[in-house]
Amino acid sequence: MSDANATTPRVFIARHGETEWTISGQCTGNTADIPLTARGEDQVRATAALLVGAGKLIDPARLARVFCSPRQRAVRTMELLLGEEDAAAARASASKGDRTEHASRVVLTEDIREWDYGAYEGLRPGEIAERRRSQGKGKWDIWVDGCEDGERPDQVEARLDRLIAEIKAIQAPVIHGGPAPDVLIVAHGHILRAFVKRWLRFPMNFAFAQMMEPGAIGILSYAHHNIEEPALLVGMGFPASS
């Protein structure tokens, strides 16, 4: 018996394309709102050409909602994935606060912004290790320690759980099929890995190694068409070409 098929809602997670700090390995949270590189834009365009469009893996007609980090590297990635109209409308309607919505089904939300690195913003892992050694602290584990002057794991968990509850409320009525059942999230490397942990109901400090390249797409869903069985979709058949 299949756990998932085309009628089971899916949650697609998309990491933004390459930035200069992706190349240098610097922690890129929220204070440095840096753009994609030209190569980063090309990464996302290539992903979109293969995976996004009518009858493709991510079919815009099947998207009930798009949740996007407000940082420009994420918004530009969404723009390249789905087309500029939705992203431009969302940005035009943006206002002060942590969330904006538009009739296009695009939601810019701080709930899926990158982890706040605080004092570690702009630093490389080796530089963070040296800073902590000078302070008499042990090896850094963001999933346990959080970030100095930034976010703790429990704070990140709270905002992700809030977003997950909203996604489940959207998808529960169409768990057995219906119009526009899918959701797309466009965000950042660390926060998307944290999202996967919370989707699977793992604690933040659970040892669950993940990798996600710039411009990559991941897929989450539900086992046995059950909203209470969130799952990682580790493999699927692609739609047949018409």
- List beta partners, residue 186: 14, 68
73 is in an annotated binding site: yes
Amino acid at 25: G
Return the residue matching tokens 């990464």.
43
Residue 5, CB-side half-sphere exposure with 13 Å CA sphere: 6
Q: How many whole angstroms from its chain centre is CA 191?
A: 7
Tell me if residue 114 is catalytic.
yes
Task: Count CB atoms within 10 A of the CB of residue 228.
Answer: 11
Q: Of 18, 41, 114, 151, which one is the catalytic site residue?
A: 114
How many residues appear in the chain?
Answer: 242
Alpha-carbon gap, residue 67 to 90, rounded angstroms: 11
Per-residue HEC secondary structure of 177-199 comes to CCCCCEEEEEECHHHHHHHHHHH
132 is in an annotated binding site: no
The string over 162-193, giving b where at least 16 C-beta atoms fall within 10 Å of a residue's C-beta and e elsewhere, is ebbebbbebbeebbeeeebbbbbbbbbbbbbb
Strands 11-15 and 182-187: parallel
Q: Of 16, 102, 188, 190, which one is the catalytic site residue?
A: 16
Query: 178: which 2 tokens?
Result: 């219906």
Return the residue matching tokens 């799952």.
231
97 is in an annotated binding site: no
Residue ranges of the binding site for substrate: 28-29, 73
Catalytic residues: 16, 114
Residue ranges of the binding site: 28-29, 73
